[in-house]
Amino acid sequence: MHPKITYKDIDWQALWQNEREQKSWTPKSSKDWDKKAPSFAKRNSDSPFVDLVMERLPLQKDLTILDAGAGPGTLSIPVAKRVKSVTALDYSQGMLDALETEAQKQGVRNINTVHASWEDDWGQQDLGRHDICIASRSLSGPNLAASLAKLNAHSSKYVFVVDRIGPTPFDEGAFKAVNKAFRSGPDYIYTINTLYSMGIHCSVDIIGLSPDTTYSDIKAAMESYCWMFKALSGEEEQNLQEYIVSNSRKTPDGKLIVTRAIPPRWVIISWKTKI
pLDDT tens digit sequence for 67-114: 999 999 999 999 999 999 999 999 999 999 999 999 999 999 999 999
Q: What is the pLDDT of residue 275?
A: 59
Mean pLDDT score, 234-256:
97
Secondary structure element (H or E) that encloses residue 136, with its range: strand 130-136
Mean pLDDT score, 3-29:
86
Identify the structural domains of the chain with CATH numbers, from first to last. 7-209+265-272 (3.40.50.150), 212-259 (no CATH)
Is the distance from CB of 99 to CB of 77 less than 8 angstroms?
Answer: yes
Secondary structure element (H or E) that encloses residue 267, with its range: strand 265-272
pLDDT tens digit sequence for 189-208: 999 999 999 999 999 999 99
Per-residue DSSP letter, 157 = E
Amino acid identity at 112: N
The SS3 of residue 158 is strand
Lowest pLDDT segment from 171-175, 224-228, 246-250: 224-228
Measure CA 255 to chain center.
26
Residue 140 pLDDT class (50, 70, 90 cuts): confident
